Amino acid sequence: MTVTLADVAARAQVSPATVSRVLNGNYPVAAATRERVLKAVDDLDYVLNGPASALAAATSDLVGVLVNDIADPFFGIMASAVQSEIVGPGGRAGGERLAVVCNTGGSPERELTYLTLLQRQRAAAVVLTGGAIEDEAHVAAVAGKLRRLAEAGTRVVLCGRPPVPETDAAALTFDNRGGAMELTRHLLDLGHRRIGYVAGPQERTTTRDRLEGHRAALAEAGVTESDGLVAHGPYDRGAGYAATAELLRSEPELTAVVAANDTMALGACAALREAGLRIPEDVSVAGFDDLPFSVDAVPALTTVRLPLADAAARAGRIAMGREAEPAGGVDVVRGELMVRGSTGAPRGA
Amino acid sequence: MTVTLADVAARAQVSPATVSRVLNGNYPVAAATRERVLKAVDDLDYVLNGPASALAAATSDLVGVLVNDIADPFFGIMASAVQSEIVGPGGRAGGERLAVVCNTGGSPERELTYLTLLQRQRAAAVVLTGGAIEDEAHVAAVAGKLRRLAEAGTRVVLCGRPPVPETDAAALTFDNRGGAMELTRHLLDLGHRRIGYVAGPQERTTTRDRLEGHRAALAEAGVTESDGLVAHGPYDRGAGYAATAELLRSEPELTAVVAANDTMALGACAALREAGLRIPEDVSVAGFDDLPFSVDAVPALTTVRLPLADAAARAGRIAMGREAEPAGGVDVVRGELMVRGSTGAPRGA
DNA sequence: GCGTTCGTAGCAAGCGCTTTCTACTTAGAA
DNA sequence: TTCTAAGTAGAAAGCGCTTGCTACGAACGC
């Protein structure tokens, strides 16, 4: 029925071992023999049995990529970049690896489940992207899983995530705090004092770090008028809309809204516009991430650009052992403030 | 080192066969025995060896999802929906399946490569999303691969893709032609006659179908002024921008631009605005797909909504055998015209 | 000219699981 | 009481591949 290694061996008149070695290319095989084997593979239209191979070799060519939401370009971009880099270590043809994209939906349980599933598959590597959940028990559980994975030979890399203690997983974390601080400083410099903050979901490191940066900038400038102006919600458009409406209600004198990410910022814009406010004449708006659509918003969104693709590509390379881990295991990736049309001086400034 | 089935069996004082049966749940095991086994699994922190299991059972719990570009929300949304549906047929716990998202980048070779890789993994199912490439040789090659996959027991479902001849893969195709036709009719009804069309890449079924629909609407209305006004490019923002700039050069009297998708429409808007034209007062713009950001564009984008998530979810269910295949193997999914602010009557109409 | 070494290829022992077939209980039927 | 049929568990034969070790020539050095 299905063609096996043995069939190929028979046709090429060599032993199965030789065929395996030709296919894996990690053992010297005479050129003539190799040719013969390759021809037989071709003739028979042979396709290696992945599970069998993984079982015998105790490792598969699967690479897990955990994301919170693959429908969100933030994660899509990272997943894409990781995937483009996960060719085999030697760069050989046939060093093909498959990216397994796991959508956790931000759920701790699913994160753990997927980690187990990846462990079950004997994944070659795992890349965890996006912010982590701050629950202590969950962090410990994740750390445990990551340790087991590492023990089993799976390389673990974190991208856009804080390092996990008690683990030697390499981490590329985004400087969310610094970026947020710079962004809020920009608004303060423009003269804003009543700045609403549309935050992400609670218990997420990303949410906390960005909010912290915002608050640090406010504190630094001695601005207290904005202190209570924070509304939380999921990282999506609807939440941005709702949170902004809420902020507007509690503080109609708002002159600026900072959103925890670009998607929420878009929702914020919609809410403001619906309230009859112009951007940036009446209220300035800023986002975070600089996703592709942000430059096309009208007015173009002031935001903090995160080098998502670069960082994820690097994470992919580290996962494949094609690039050294950052010294100390952690590297902080900075964002860049992109000042565009959605922010301006406040009314009467 | 790693815990195996045998270890669990020893601890539970049963045979490996029994443990396997408890874990797979497809054979009667006395409740007491099951408990004992489950406890041993827990005590030992046992994780099944996926490859070994796949080898023995001749099928894995991997589901392939082929997409053109995972960074594009169009595909991200579909991938996400497929993933959310691929639990096991029985709905049992442990019926966990892993979605392998394969980014073809629109390249025929990579499409074939991924199909081979999925075959190698003995994937339980494969879902191909997005438009297909029209090259005859390639279609034949894909058909061949799909046939082999089907032979090996892999369920194949197409989502947003035309059926593949000589194959019994179920297909959920989008009515691109019909949607495009309706969209252009809308513009014609408004009074537009010089309508530029920003098309996708050549040789893609999606591109062709949408363009055909556009042309059919023009022909139907007897409008010939727009006949040459087509510019092709990849399905991204930059191409939309460039194509629109080009159209503007060749026909400055343009009153409307129809883009092959929303992303390109955004680029088109940027190009128009840069040329000092207002939307929709000077030029109307329309997109296709109704991606989440489209409603937030300013003005909100008139477009054709495709039920991406629904269709993909259904594809996922069909792939899992949890829903019947469409009668005749093919089902056409219609889009819905969403008229919004980006289209209006032409100047002086 | 003979021992060594290098370059190749084969043997065979698993890798950890599933599943068929067999076997043993126990309970119900006659 | 004896026979049969459920119900449940085990033995063992693979699934298709990798890889350590062995073996055989040929080329080489002395």
For residue B61, which of B11, B24, B109, B32 has the smallest C-alpha distance?
B24
CB pair distance less than 8 Å for B84 and A101: no
Tens of pLDDT, residue by residue over A301-324, are: 999 999 999 999 999 999 999 999
Provide the token pair at B41. 């699994």
Residue range B126-132: average pLDDT?
Answer: 96
CB pair distance less than 8 Å for A70 and B50: no
* Stretch among A80-94, A209-223, B49-63 having the lowest mean pLDDT: A80-94
Query: Which of A49, A76, A113 is closest, CB to CB, to B120?
Result: A49
For residue A82, which of A115, A111, A53, A124 has the smallest C-alpha distance?
A124
**D26 C1' – A30 CA distance, angstroms?**
14
Query: Which of B54, B76, B152 is closest, CB to CB, to A2?
Result: B152
Query: Which of A55, A121, A122 is closest, CB to CB, to B55?
Result: A55
Residue range A249-266: average pLDDT?
Answer: 96
Query: Which residue bears the tokens 């195996």?
Result: B4
Residue range B84-111: average pLDDT?
Answer: 78
Alpha-carbon Rg for chain B, nearest whole angstrom, is: 25
At A212, which amino acid appears?
A: E
Query: Which of A45, A52, A101 is closest, CB to CB, to B101?
Result: A101
Tens of pLDDT, residue by residue over A146-186, are: 999 999 999 999 999 999 999 999 999 999 999 999 999 99
Cβ of residue B141 closer than 8 Å to a chain A Cβ: no
Query: Which of A70, A118, A237 is closest, CB to CB, to B296?
Result: A237
Residue range A116-145: average pLDDT?
Answer: 95
Nucleotides of C under 7 A from a protein CB: 7-12, 14-20
Tens of pLDDT, residue by residue over B302-321, are: 999 999 999 999 999 999 99
Count of A–B CB contacts within 8 Å? 154
pLDDT of residue B90: 45
Taking every pair of C-alpha atoms in chain B, what is the biggest distance, in angstroms?
A: 88
What is the percentage of chain A residues whose pLDDT exceeds 90? 90
Tens of pLDDT, residue by residue over B45-79, are: 999 999 999 999 999 999 999 999 999 999 999 99
CB pair distance less than 8 Å for B103 and A83: yes
Q: Is residue A93's pLDDT more than 70?
A: no
For residue B65, which of B132, B156, B134 has the smallest C-alpha distance?
B156
* Residues B255, B347 contacting (CB under 8 angstroms): yes
Provide the token pair at A278. 């112009």
E strand residue ranges, chain A: 62-67, 98-103, 125-129, 155-159, 170-174, 195-199, 230-232, 256-259, 284-286, 303-305, 330-333, 336-338
pLDDT of residue B95: 65
Cβ of residue A70 closer than 8 Å to a chain B Cβ: yes
pLDDT band at A349 (very low <50, low <70, confident <90, very high): low
CB pair distance less than 8 Å for B48 and A292: no
Provide the token pair at A76. 């899509």
* Residues B176, B210 contacting (CB under 8 angstroms): yes
pLDDT of residue A89: 53
* Stretch among A9-18, A117-126, A301-310, B87-96 having the lowest mean pLDDT: B87-96
Q: Is residue B172's pLDDT more than 60?
A: yes
Angstroms from A49 CA to nearest CA on chain B: 5
Q: Is residue B123's pLDDT more than 90?
A: yes
Task: Determine the residue of chain A that is closest to B2 in CA distance.
Answer: A152
For residue B114, the chain A residues in CB contact (below 8 A) are 98
Residue range A237-247: average pLDDT?
Answer: 97
Mutate to test the interface with B, among A74, A120, A263, A291 (most CBs of B within 10 A): A120
* Residues A172, A82 contacting (CB under 8 angstroms): no
Nucleotide nearest to A15 (CA to C1'): C10
3-state SS assignment for residue B326: coil
Residue range A114-128: average pLDDT?
Answer: 95
Tens of pLDDT, residue by residue over B20-47, are: 999 998 888 899 999 999 999 999 999 9
For residue A121, the chain B residues in CB contact (below 8 A) are 50-51, 62, 98
pLDDT band at A88 (very low <50, low <70, confident <90, very high): low
CB pair distance less than 8 Å for B269 and A152: no
Nucleotides of D under 7 A from a protein CB: 7-12, 14-20
pLDDT of residue A90: 45
* Residues A98, B65 contacting (CB under 8 angstroms): no
pLDDT of residue A347: 86
pLDDT of residue B91: 36
pLDDT of residue B92: 39
Q: Is residue B94's pLDDT more than 80?
A: no
For residue B287, which of B187, B161, B158 has the smallest C-alpha distance?
B187
pLDDT of residue A56: 95
CB pair distance less than 8 Å for A70 and B73: no
Cβ of residue A102 closer than 8 Å to a chain B Cβ: yes
Name residues 255-294 of chain A within 8 A of B (Cβ): 266-267, 269-270, 273, 292-293
CA distances from B84 to B22, B80, B99, B130, B333 (A): 26, 6, 9, 18, 20
Mutate to test the interface with A, among B69, B120, B241, B295 (most CBs of A within 10 A): B120
**A28 CB-to-strand C distance under 7 Å:** yes
* Residues A70, A31 contacting (CB under 8 angstroms): no
**Higher-confidence residue: A92 or A88?**
A88
* Overall pTM surpassing 0.75 (yes/no): yes
**A32 CB-to-strand C distance under 7 Å:** yes
pLDDT band at A39 (very low <50, low <70, confident <90, very high): very high
What does pLDDT average to over chain B?
A: 94
Residue range B152-159: average pLDDT?
Answer: 95
At B80, phi and psi to the nearest 5? -60, -45
Per-range mean pLDDT, top range of A25-29, A273-277, B91-95: A273-277
Q: Is residue B183's pLDDT more than 60?
A: yes
E strand residue ranges, B81-233: 98-103, 125-129, 155-159, 170-174, 195-199, 230-232
CB pair distance less than 8 Å for B297 and A292: no
Cβ of residue B103 closer than 8 Å to a chain A Cβ: yes
For residue B341, the chain A residues in CB contact (below 8 A) are none
Name residues 106-135 of chain B within 8 A of A (Cβ): 113-114, 116-122
For residue B79, which of A83, A48, A233, A320 has the smallest C-alpha distance?
A83
* Stretch among A86-90, A124-128, B250-254 having the lowest mean pLDDT: A86-90
